[in-house]
Amino acid sequence: MSARSAPVSLYTGFSLIELLVAMAIFSVMAALAYGGLNSIARTRGELARQEDAFRDLMRAVAMFDRDLREAVPRPVLGNVGQAVPAMIGTAAGIEFTRVGFANPQAEPRANLERVVYALDDGALKRGRYAVLDRAATTVPELSALRGDVTDLRLRYLDRGGRWSDAWPLPQAPDPNLLPRAVQWRITTRDYGDIERIVELASAWPKGGAAAGPQGTAPAGLVPSAGAQ
């Protein structure tokens, strides 16, 4: 009796169980891949945010230092025509005149600028006046240099080497005399305390950039004997 050959199937492929297993494995791998990519994207986003925050902080520090180094003993006229000292400082803010106001288009204006620094609404802000001697409606144009700032503190070093929380000093013979140095500190939520001490120019030439509102050099502009 001859043996009968087994029938040969004409169809090949995966069974239903094999397809379900393959789909399950693919789903797990896709979920793992998505989690990894999502983690990388979040990390890159956080690094970019921290980079922007650090850049803003360094820009604010550099601008504050630059403005203080360029301070000049030039008083101004206030909104009602009153004399305003060259620098007015408290423990929480400062206003002063600086030289070096860029004028690339050679406009008919001075190269001096009146600026103010203060903490407002959780941000370190810089204000600038469009003119030195103000009209009744003149107000500073404010711009935020750095957010997430919780505190701003300033101190002023006088000629006798003493620190003060306000400038000019009470009973000062010349209210337009600048301090020897200004110490400022800001407290940020992400980088903590940032503290700087900026030495100011000790003398300016008579009748130079720091001339007063009437075109005369205020007291304190003649170089000392050591600066000759």
What's the burial of 13, exposed, middle or buried (CB within 10 Å: 0-12/13-18/19+)? Answer: exposed
Contact 62, 68 (CB under 8 A): no
Which pLDDT belongs to residue 86?
95
CA 195 to CA 193: how far, in whole Å? Answer: 6
Q: Provide the token pair at 199.
A: 């030495």
CA 213 to CA 129: how far, in whole Å? Answer: 15
Residues 62-211: name the CATH superfamily. GSPII I/J protein-like (3.10.610.10)
Which pLDDT belongs to residue 88?
96
Which pLDDT belongs to residue 226?
37
Contact 120, 146 (CB under 8 A): no
Which pLDDT belongs to residue 219?
34
Which pLDDT belongs to residue 75?
95
Identify which of 79, 80, 81, 118 has the alpha carbon closest to the alpha carbon of residue 96: 118
Identify which of 166, 162, 177 has the alpha carbon closest to the alpha carbon of residue 71: 177
Which pLDDT belongs to residue 196?
95
Q: What is the pLDDT along the chain (228 residues), one digit of tens a residue?
A: 555 555 555 556 667 787 778 788 878 887 777 777 777 777 788 788 888 888 989 999 999 999 999 999 999 999 999 999 999 999 999 999 999 766 655 565 568 999 999 999 999 999 999 899 999 999 999 999 999 999 999 999 998 999 999 999 988 889 999 999 999 999 999 899 999 999 998 655 555 555 555 444 333 333 333 333
Contact 113, 196 (CB under 8 A): no
Q: Provide the token pair at 146.
A: 């750095």
Which pLDDT belongs to residue 203?
56
Contact 212, 219 (CB under 8 A): no
